Amino acid sequence: MKFSVLMSIYYKEKPEYFDRCMKSIWDDQSVKPNEIVLVEDGALTNELYEIIERWQNKLGNIFKIIPLEKNLGTGEAKNIGLKECSYEFIAVMDTDDIANSKRFEKQLEIFREKDIEVCSSWISEFEDEEDNIISFRKLPEYHNDILNFAKKRMPVNHPATMYKKDIALKAGGYKHMLWFEDYYLMVRMMINGAKFYNIQEPLVNMRVGYGQLERRRGFKYVLEEAKFLKELKNIGFITQGEYVMNLVLRSAVRITPKFIIKRVYKILRNS
């Protein structure tokens, strides 16, 4: 089963993080990808270009680079990369995360065993050092539970997700929906009949923590989240009641004081 890895990168990424990510999806993997597609979302720093060139020299045609003249944002960049992927299966990866050494092997095995179109997993989350695991994001295992979960929260850990290219394209690929492009694609795939499965162990170590949580707060985020929830209602994925409930609960979280959010964050991630 041949597969591509899809990533996008922009100038703010740290070269050492990207290099560690590449080592995790190539050097460390028990089953290596047939192709790695990297979308350069606008001009990058010289340090990033140096790391990219080094990996291109090492991997040759396996490493496919798609340069964009200007920064288009994560959703549009990944959508361009999606269309450039050569193989049936696409594994998504963020350029500052670290893949478990058997991530691809385990996901491909699930695709062999089960009639599904999307396979994700739990993730572990760390700050600063790889060994400093602060929490886990656990998700339901089976499709019906994942579908119900999706009406409230993101149903997969997107940077740990592998899916079939054709089903993603039929759903329209990644569309602009600020901060919610991944979630939006997963929902549209569900509406189109895609079957989901979440492996019940972490296959990606994600570089997040409270810094990322802080970026998901404030009134701008509330407004964009409200737009997204309204779209879910408009396409029939959630009811009017679910829309109102989500809007109230999510908005309250976005404007809650930091010290409370940190406690809730730990509870939600480990529940």
Closest CA to 134 of 200, 213, 198: 213
Average the pLDDT over 43-47 and give the result.
98
pLDDT in tens, 116-173: 999 999 999 988 889 889 889 999 999 999 999 999 999 999 999 999 999 999 999 9
* Chain centroid, CA 195 distance in Å: 17
Query: Sign of the C-alpha dihedral, residues 158, 134, 106, 22?
Result: positive
Strand partners, 204: 99, 123
Q: What is the pLDDT of residue 184?
A: 98
Amino acid (one-letter) located at 212: Q
pLDDT in tens, 93-109: 999 999 999 999 999 99
What whole-number distance in Å separates Cα of residue 166 and Cα of residue 78? 15
Looking at residue 214, its pLDDT comes to: 56
- Which one, of 197, 193, 172, lies nearest residue 184 by Cα? 172
